[in-house]
Amino acid sequence: MAELAIEAQGLVKRYGDLTAVAGIDLHVPAGAIYALLGPNGAGKTTIMSMLTTLTPPTAGTARVAGYDLLREADQVRARIGVTFQEIVLDQDLTGRQILDIHGRLYRQPTDLRRRRIGELVDLVQLNEAIDRRTRTYSGGMKRRLELARGLMTDPTILFLDEPTQGLDPQNRVGIWDYIRMLNNRGGLTVLLTTHYMDEAEALAKRVGIVDHGSLVAEGAPETLVAQLGADVIRVRGQGDPAHFAAQIGRLPFVTQVDTDADNAMVQIYVDSGSRRLAEVVSAASGNGYRVDDITVARPSLGDVFLHHTGRALRD
Ligand SMILES: Nc1ncnc2c1ncn2[C@@H]1O[C@H](COP(=O)(O)OP(=O)(O)OP(=O)(O)O)[C@@H](O)[C@H]1O
Ligand SMILES: [Mg+2]
C-alpha cells in the first residue's frame, strides 16, 4: 500500500447538540490530489480545521505528514500549508508584505524569505502586482497570493478549503492549473474541499464524498462512476416514479436505479445507453409511466452523490 500523507480514524466534531463530523476515516496517499466533495454544511471545513490542528476533535485520531495530530501538533504545523475558504488578506498590505510576514511568523531567516518570495511570485505569476496593496487585486489574484502564502514554508501537504469559491470559470481553470503544477513538481500532497463536482473530477485522483458529517463514498472518481454503470438514462414523466423504478430495476441490463424525488426523475444506469433506450421507453409504457423527457449521458460524480444520498448535489 502506498505511503499515506493523511490517515484519520473516527474523527468526530460536535458543537453542543450538533454533530458537524460524525466519525470519519480518511486515507490520503502521499503525492495525491484528494478532494472532499459535498454540499454546504456537510462538514468539509470542519474536517479540514481538525486536520490542520485549528480545531480539536471531539473524538478520533489522525496522523498528518507522519505525525500525531494531537501529541505532535507542532510537527504537523511545520509541514503543512493552509488556505481558508474565505479570503483573508490585509487589504492595506502589499502581496510581498503579506508573504514576508508569513515567513517571519515561521521564523524564516531573511535570505530564505527573500528567496521563497521570489520563487513563489514567479510561480503564481504575480510579478507585476506583488508590490501593490491587495485591495487592488482581482479575486483570482487574491487566490493566487493565498496559494503562494500557503507554500511559503515549503509544506509537504497543502490544504485548500474551496480554492475557487467565488471565481469566474476562467480564473477557476487557472487555479486548477496551478494546483496540478504544484502537485506535479515534487509530489506535493493536496487535500482540497469543494462543492463543485467538476472541480473534483478535474483535479482529484481520489475523492471522498461527504454528507451530513460522514463519508458516504470514497475512491478514484472514475471507479466511483463506473460502479454505477456505463451510461445513465434519465427519464422524466407522468405516473408513479417509484413503481417504475422498481420495475425497471428488475431488467438484467440495469445496474442501478435512483429516483430524484425533487425532480420526479428516474435515473437508470445501464450497460449501454444507445442500445437500451428503446427498451426503457417500452418498459415505461408497459408500466403506465408516460415519458415526457428522456436523455442518455455518462454518469458523473453528481450521480454518485445522488446514488448514495438520494439527493442531488447542487451548488
Ligand atoms: N464553530 C461552530 N459552531 C457551531 N456549529 C458549527 C461551527 N462550525 C461549523 N458548524 C456547523 O457544522 C456543520 C458543518 O459545517 P462546515 O463549515 O464544516 O461545512 P462545510 O461542508 O464546510 O460547508 P460549506 O460548503 O458551506 O463551506 C454545519 O452545520 C455548521 O453550521
Ligand atoms: Mg466549508
AA identity, residue 38? G
Q: Which three cell numbers stand for residue 37?
A: 466533495
Q: Which CATH number fits domain 229-298: 3.30.70.100, 2.70.50.60, 3.40.50.800, 1.10.287.3510?
A: 3.30.70.100
Residues 6+ apart with CB under 8 A from 243: 287, 289
Residue 221 CA to residue 202 CA, distance in Å, equals 9
Q: Ligand 1 pocket test: pick from 11, 14, 17, 18 the residue with the most ligand atoms within 8 Å of its Cβ.
A: 18
C-alpha distances in Å from residue 156, one per residue of 4, 134, 288: 12, 27, 58
User: What region, left, alpha or beta, does residue 60 occupy, with left being phi > 0 and alpha being psi -120 to 50 degrees?
Assistant: left
Torsion sign, CA atoms 76, 78, 83, 85: positive
Identify the residue whose C-alpha is closest to ligand 1 atom 2: 15
The per-residue pLDDT for 265 is 87
* Calpha distance 32→198 (Å, rounded): 18
What's the rounded Cα separation, in Å, for the pair 296 and 276? Answer: 10
Ligand 1 centroid from CA 40, angstroms? 8
Residue nearest to atom 28 of ligand 1 (CA): 41
Q: State the distance from the centre of ligand 1 to the C-alpha of 176, rounded, in angstroms.
A: 25
Which bound ligand lies closest to the C-alpha atom of 211? Answer: 1
Which residue, by CA, sits nearest to atom 18 of ligand 1? 43
C-alpha cell at 133: 496593496
| Per-domain residue ranges of the chain | 4-219, 229-298
**Strand pairing class (157-161; 189-194):** parallel
Which residue puts its alpha carbon closest to atom 27 of ligand 1? 40
- Report CA(277)–ligand 2 centroid distance (Å): 40
Q: What is d(CA 193, CA 43) in angstroms, rounded to the nearest whole number?
A: 10
Q: Determine contact, residues 81/158, Cβ cutoff 8 Å.
A: yes
Question: What is the Å distance from ligand 2's center to 180 Cα?
Answer: 22
pLDDT value of residue 315: 47
Domains 4-219 and 229-298 share a fold: no
Are 240 and 271 in contact by the 8 Å Cβ rule? The answer is no
CA-proximal residue: ligand 1, atom 12 (nearest): 20
- Report the first-to-last Cα separation within the chain, whole angstroms: 35
Cα–Cα distance, 280 to 143 (Å, whole number): 47
Cβ contact 273:231 at 8 Å: yes
Cell numbers placing 126? 504575480
Question: Which among 313, 315, 314, 279 is positioned nearest to 296, based on CA atoms?
Answer: 279
CATH of domain 4-219: 3.40.50.300
Could you tell me the distance, in angstroms and rounded to a whole number, from the CA of residue 244 to the centre of ligand 1?
A: 38
Scored b (16 or more CB within 10 A) or e, 114-129 reads: eebbeebbebbebeeb
Q: What is the DSSP letter of 262?
A: G
In this structure, the strands spanning 33-37 and 206-211 are parallel
Pocket of ligand 1 (CB under 6 A): 15, 18, 20, 38, 40-46, 85, 195
Q: Are 51 and 127 in contact (CB under 8 A)?
A: no
Ligand 1 atom at shortest distance from the alpha carbon of 43: 18
pLDDT by residue, tens only, the chain of 315 residues? 569 999 999 999 999 999 999 999 999 999 999 999 999 999 999 999 999 999 999 999 999 999 999 999 999 999 999 999 998 899 999 999 999 999 999 999 999 999 999 999 998 999 999 999 999 999 999 999 999 999 999 999 999 999 999 888 888 998 999 999 999 987 899 999 999 999 999 999 999 999 999 999 999 999 999 999 999 999 999 988 889 999 999 999 999 999 887 767 899 999 999 999 999 999 999 999 999 999 999 999 999 998 998 888 864
CA distances from 171 to 51, 128, 163, 200, 222 (A): 27, 17, 11, 16, 25
Q: Which atom of ligand 1 is nearest to the CA of 48?
A: 18
